[in-house]
A and B are shown apart, each in its own frame.
Chain A
Amino acid sequence: MKRIAFVFTQGPHGGSAGREGLDALLAASALTDRIGVFFIADGVLLLLPGQQPEKILARNFIATFGVLPIYDIHHYYICAESLAQRGLLEADGWVLKGEIVRAADWRQILSGFDTLLTF
C-alpha cells in the first residue's frame, strides 16, 4: 500500500476543501494506516479551537479532526512559518495535537510519501 500524504492548505468555512479533505482522509484510513496529515498556509486555521461555524450556518466538521487518532492516523504536522505569518505561534488548545515543524523539515518528511493529496 502506498504512503499517502493529505495536505490541507485552505482555512475552514470559506469553502469546502477542508471538509472534503477530511472525508477523503476518513475513507482512506479504512484501507491503510500509512497516512500523514499536513496543515500548511491557511490550513493551519482548521485546527483553531473555539470555532462556531453555526453562526454562519456552516456545518461544524472541526471536532472530527480531534478524533482522527481513533482511526489509526498518528502523524500530524503543522507548518511553523504559516503559524508565525498568522500570529498564531503562541496559540494553544489546538483541536488536534500535531508536531509544529519548519517548512524545510516537513518538506523533507513529505518526501517519504508516495502520493500527495492537496485540499
Chain B
Amino acid sequence: MLYTLSHSPFACDLAALLLTVRAGDDLLLMQDGVIAGLVGTVALAQLAGAPAGLFALSADIDARGLTAHFSDKIAVIDYNEFVSLTVKHAKQMAW
C-alpha cells in the first residue's frame, strides 16, 4: 500500500495512519504533509518508528522553504519518482 499524507501533522491524526502501516508499505509526504519531516517534531519521531519506507515530495519542501530543516531519514523525491511509487503499489490510501 502507498500512503500519502497531504495535511500538516498538526492538523490530522498521524497516529491513526501509522496504526495500519506495515512492512513493505511506503508513505509519501506531500503538500502540507511535508511538515511532518521537520527535524525536531514529534511527527518525525513517530514516522521514524514506522516500518514503512518514507518519502517526501521535493517541490512541496522547496515551496515552503523547509529544505534546511528537513530530516535526512526521509528520501526526498521528485514527481517522476512519485509516479514510480504509484506503479509499485496497486493501492493507495490518501490521508
Contacts and interface: CB of A to CB of B under 8 A. Distances in A.
A56 interface: yes
Given A11-B32, A42-B35, A91 B69 contact: yes
B41 A12 contact: no
Given A14-B32, A45-B35, A87-B40, A50 B68 contact: yes
B64 A87 contact: no
A86 B40 contact: yes
Interface stretch (B17-25, B55-63, B81-89): B55-63
Interface residues of B, number: 22
A55 B64 CA distance: 10
Contacts of A10: 8
Contacts of A52: 62-63, 65
A11 B35 contact: yes
Q: For chain A, which range describes its interface: under 10, 10 to 19, 20 to 34, or 35 or more residues?
A: 20 to 34
B1 interface: no
Contacts of A48: 64-66
A86 B35 contact: yes
**SS class of chain A's interface: helix, strand, loop or mixed?**
loop
Given A87-B40, A91-B69, A12 B10 contact: no
Interface in A60-107: 84-88, 91
A85 B63 contact: no
Interface of A: 10-15, 41-42, 45, 48-56, 58, 84-88, 91
Interface of B: 7-8, 10-11, 31-32, 35, 38-42, 59-60, 62-69
15 contacts: A11-B35, A12-B64, A14-B8, A45-B35, A49-B65, A50-B67, A51-B63, A53-B63, A53-B64, A56-B59, A58-B63, A85-B10, A86-B41, A87-B40, A87-B41
